[in-house]
Amino acid sequence: TQEERSESRRSSIAKRKESLTVEK
């Protein structure tokens, strides 16, 4: 479903933010 897609996108974006914060 579209909802599932946006949800996975959100999690991937959150993961990216997390790695960026860890790098700092």
What pLDDT, on a 0 to 100 scale, did the predictor assign at position 10? 96
Q: Which of 20, 1, 23 is nearest to 12 (CA)?
A: 20
Q: What is the pLDDT of residues 4-24, one digit of tens each?
A: 999 999 999 999 998 888 766
Q: Specify the pTM.
A: 0.47
Residue 9's alpha-carbon distances to 4, 6, 16, in angstroms, are 9, 5, 11
In terms of Cβ atoms closer than 10 Å to its own Cβ (0-12, 13-18, 19+), residue 4 is: exposed
What pLDDT, on a 0 to 100 scale, did the predictor assign at position 21? 82
What pLDDT, on a 0 to 100 scale, did the predictor assign at position 22? 76
What pLDDT, on a 0 to 100 scale, did the predictor assign at position 14? 94
What pLDDT, on a 0 to 100 scale, did the predictor assign at position 12? 95
CA distance 5 to 16: 17
What pLDDT, on a 0 to 100 scale, did the predictor assign at position 4? 92
CA distance 22 to 3: 29
